[in-house]
Structure 1
Amino acid sequence: MNKLSCTIIALALCVTAVAKTPTQTGDADIRRDAEILLKKQIMAEADWAMQQKPVTITAASSARSAGGLHDFFSEADYFWPDPKNPAGPYINRDGLTNPDNFVEHRKAMIRFSKIIGALASAYQITHDDKYVKQAVAHLRAWFINRETLMNPNLESSQAVKGLFTGRNYGIIDTIHLMEVAQGVIVMEKSRWMDAKTTEGIKNWFSDYTTWLNTSEKGLQEKNVKNNHTTCWTMQVASFAKLCGNKALLDSCTNRFKHILLPNQMGLDGSFPLELSRTKPYGYSIFNLDAMVTLCQILSNPSQDLWAYQTADGKSIKKGISYLFPYIANKSSWPLKADVMYWDNWPVAQPFLLFGAVAYENKDWYSLWVNLDHDPKVEEVIRNLPIRHPLIWM
């Protein structure tokens, strides 16, 4: 064998080694198997979505909202009437959801997310433009049509009777717009996704992302220490990806590496701030899903968050490894059971699938396969913004 041949072989081996990083390939077998597993459910959801008419937040309103018809309104989950002063300001009962809260706007947004996620997934599998045509009607209703659109802010979310007309914590509600944004990315090249519609959608998300980064509530949410700041960053990354805002994407990457991971993760891979809550199991799952989704959104060949590790050894892989045994066997959870919804977790958490692909871990994938892929409990769905993982892969 001559020197030139040896050089070519050596270069080929180097290229192969580089290509084997989690970001660039992951496990193609797991990706393929996941599509096979989910296809029947996706097509059934898409059939349902094809029959749905657009319903936006303008279809329901609350007299308790300080906003207008086009302003998203929700009420803080854990605030209740004060038994000592029933007509006065609400009081906090952490972890206990008030069933009398106004939730219609949140439900409409989750429904919208389910519709677009299903249609985008079906389009990705079949390349049939009929799914895009249906999606466009919903997208225009939410983001473009003046009569039905939602204003690009959350000034009136998570209000508290007698105390606040809106709070920064409500920003977490729009995690359900992430699969809408990702769905648009998947469907963008279809002939039914016309330039005017695409421009209108991107303008809306650009305006909302600006609000997240400049408003008082947006900046307050950015600086919360726990899962709220994780979800703020996850949303900004998702929406910036749709809008092609590289500066914001780079900012989110730096935030993950230098703020979220080092400040929230313990040396063992846990999230101490979530463990201190009255629902430590559910919050730990939720925050890990968000952290892993950030890696899925932001990682690329030049910036691999899957491989990133802090100086003291914190990494997203360590986070998955910490929680995995308690997902596989919940009875081994070392803390008290969550005060609500303990029996409803876990489901098919996206951190298991995304992590399995990134690290080629068949155990994580097998567990994901055997968990519930179609949960019905509203609180679970609300805390599961990634319900159509194929469009992210």
Structure 2
Amino acid sequence: MLFLALLAAVADFDLRAYERPRVVSAAEVALAHAPRTLTSVRNPRSAGGPHDFSSEGDYWWPDPQKPGGPYVRRDGLTNPDNFVAHRTLMFGLARDVGALAAAWDLTHDERFAAAAVRHLRTWFVDPATRMTPNLLYAQAIQGVATGRGIGIIDTLHLAEVALGIEALRESQSLTREDDAALTQWFRDYLHWMRTHPYGLEEAKQENNHGTCWVLQAAAFARLTGDAAVLAECRARFRRDLLTQMAADGSFLRELARTKPYGYAIFNLDVMTATAVVLSTPDDDLMRATLPDGRGLLRAVGWLAPFLADKSRWPKAPDVMYWNDWPIRQPALLFGALASGNAEWLATWRRLPADSAVEEVQRNFPVRYPTLWLRRPGAAR
């Protein structure tokens, strides 16, 4: 009887009603934010132009043995002097568009939709301020590389933006012309991800980078209606993502890092988000398993006790940001809804909904879960 009661607790949970006050409050704040794109800040060390996204590798530092020479890597330790302004601006875009699109979806208040469209038009359509649809100059390293394939992880937050555009297609504020222009931008970026050597290299990574590539490709393909890429991503999910998992549901490559707790959370969050984007009525990837039983519910089951009580974590604390995790991790929510596990849902509900720490924001791809779980209406 207790088990049935726990199942009922999840089945009766109304996520849209639960999230509405938080989302509307965030959207009201976002209404006051003017659009600001990466053209407003220039990285003087970037090889790119004013419309090109730029960032520098977090864990790369000056070499004390070779002053002025190529930077050297210190895993897990973020260099505060590296350029991250474009990344911060993209966080702002994702935060505001996500809140505004989610609030429109929950209320149908066109103020929210109109404001979201202004941000989207400024970032992806207006020739004076739009971002170039590639990432040639992301995760650069001074004296080593002007850009790298792993930089594609920097656009992870555009996945939620793409889902927001899907929702806004049902609003009055997103015109057919703007919709077409936005869709073309994401189509161009997806093409670059799938054809440029940086994208091809990143797609092959057998860790959180490969996971983030698949999530982005899936979200952009869904927005652009690319059935072939969606099918490819579903195949990659089973072949390349679930196979990252150990038999117990952990991710050994993430646990080998100097921030294993944060990396384990991040990879599972992104993987469950990918499953949600790619699932169909006939293929529920949250419940999918490999022949040996590995699957996302096993992975959530492995990590959930450490999210509920971090003192149980079996490894050393992360070298940075240990005190800032966990927050309301989407793997708990998506796992609870897929399995009926009321304990996971209860843990998700009691954790903070967001964080003021930029490193946490950077590794938190699902701010507005109602956008991920909504069912789009008929195409316009």
Bucket of the pairwise TM-score, normalised by the shorter protein: over 0.9
Residue among 53, 68, 77 paired with 1:87:
68
Residues 178-206 of structure 1: CA distance to partner in whole angstroms, max 9, x if unpaired?
Answer: 11100011111211110000000000000
Deviations 1:101-139 (A, max 9, x none): 111100000000001110011111111111111111111
1:29 Cα offset (Å): 2.2
Q: Cα distance, 1:28 vs. partner?
A: 4.8
- Taking the aligned partners of 1:385 and 1:196, their CA distance within structure 2 comes to 28
Cα offsets for 1:248-290 (capped at 9, x unmatched): 111100001122112x000000000101111111000000001
Q: Using the TM superposition, give the Cα deviation of residue 167 of structure 1 relative to its aligned residue in structure 2, in angstroms.
A: 0.6
**Structure 1 position 27, deviation (Å):** 5.1
Contact 2:77/2:319, CA 8 A, preserved across alignment: yes
SS of 2:216's equivalent in the other structure is helix
Contact 1:77 1:101 in 2 (8 A): yes
1:310 & 1:368 partners in 2: Cα distance? 27
1:97 corresponds in structure 2 to 78
Question: What does 1:102-181 correspond to in 2, within 5 Å?
Answer: 102-181=83-162
**In the alignment, does 2:199 pair up with 1:227?**
no
Is residue 72 of structure 1 aligned with residue 68 of structure 2? no
**Letter in structure 1 aligned against 2:63:** D
Letter in 1 for 2:12: D
Contact kept in structure 2, 1:88 and 1:162, CA below 8 Å:
yes
Contact 1:182 1:238 in 2 (8 A): yes
Shift of 1:40: 2.1
Aligned residue pairs total 366
Determine the C-alpha separation between the residues in 2 that align with 1:307 and 1:102. 40
Stretches of structure 2 lacking an aligned partner (at least 5 in a row): 1-6, 374-380
- Which residue does the alignment assign to 1:29? 12
* Larger CA deviation: 71-80 vs 253-262: 253-262
**Secondary structure of 2:143's partner?**
coil
Shift in Å, 1:38: 2.5
8 Å CA contact retained: 2:202, 2:210: yes
Counterpart of 1:331 in structure 2 is: 311
Contact 1:42 1:118 in 2 (8 A): yes
Show CA shifts across 1:72-120 (max 9, x none): 0000000000111121110000000000011110000000000111001
Q: Is the 8 A contact 1:159 1:166 kept in 2?
A: yes
Identical residues among aligned pairs (%)? 47
Which SS does the other structure have where 1:158 is aligned?
A: strand
TM-score by length of 2: 0.94
| SS across alignment from 2:211 | helix
Partners of 1:265 and 1:271 within 8 A in 2: yes
Query: 2: CA distance between counterparts of 1:291 and 1:63?
Result: 35
Over aligned residues, Cα RMSD in angstroms? 1.3
CA contact (8 A) 2:211 2:270 kept: yes
Distance 2:262 2:342 in 1: 24
* Preserved CA contact (<8 Å) 2:134 2:189: yes
Q: Deviation string for 1:196-219 (max 9, x for gaps)?
A: 000000000000000000001000
Work out whether 1:39 is the aligned partner of 2:43: no
1:313 and 2:277 correspond: no
The one-letter code of the counterpart of 1:190 is S
**CA distance, structure 2, for counterparts of residue 131 and residue 383 of structure 1:** 26
Which of 359, 364, 377 lines up with 1:379 in the alignment? 359
Cα deviation, 1:152-192, whole Å, max 9, x if unaligned, reads: 00000000000000011110010111111000111112111
In the alignment, the residues of structure 2 paired with residue 349 and residue 144 of structure 1 have an alpha-carbon distance, to the nearest angstrom, of 32
Q: Secondary structure in 2 aligned to 1:384?
A: coil
Match of 1:53 among 34, 47, 70: 34
2:284 to 293, 304, 307: 304
Aligned-partner Cα distance in 2 for 1:355–1:245: 27
Contact map agreement 1:27 1:358 (CA 8 A) in 2: no
Spell out, residue by residue over 1:223-269, the C-alpha distance to the aligned partner (whole angstroms, 9 max, x if none): 1111000000000001111111111111100001122112x000000
Distance in 2 between residues matched to 1:374 and 1:241, nearest whole Å: 26
Code of the aligned partner of 2:195: T
CA shift, 1:391, in A, is: 1.1
Distance 2:113 2:16 in 1: 19
Looking at structure 1, the residues matched to 82 and 286 of structure 2 have their Cα atoms a distance apart, in angstroms, of 39
Residue identity matched to 2:339:
Y
* Structure 1 gaps, min length 5: 1-21
* Structure-2 separation of matches of 1:289 and 1:351: 5
Q: Could you say which residue in structure 1 is the equivalent of 2:342?
A: 362
Amino acid at match of 2:320: M
Letter in 1 for 2:19: L
Give 2:321's aligned residue. Answer: 341
User: 2:264 maps to which residue?
Assistant: 284
Q: Secondary structure at the match of 2:157?
A: helix
Matched residue, 1:11: none
Q: Does 1:266 align with 2:246?
A: yes
Distance in 2, matches of 1:35 and 1:300, equals 20
- TM-score normalised by L of structure 1: 0.91
Bigger Cα displacement from structure 2, 124-133 vs 149-158: 124-133
Q: Distance in 1 between matches of 2:222 and 2:167?
A: 12
Separation in 2, partners of 1:188, 1:301: 22
Q: CA deviation at 1:318?
A: 0.4
- Whether 1:218 aligns to 2:199 is yes
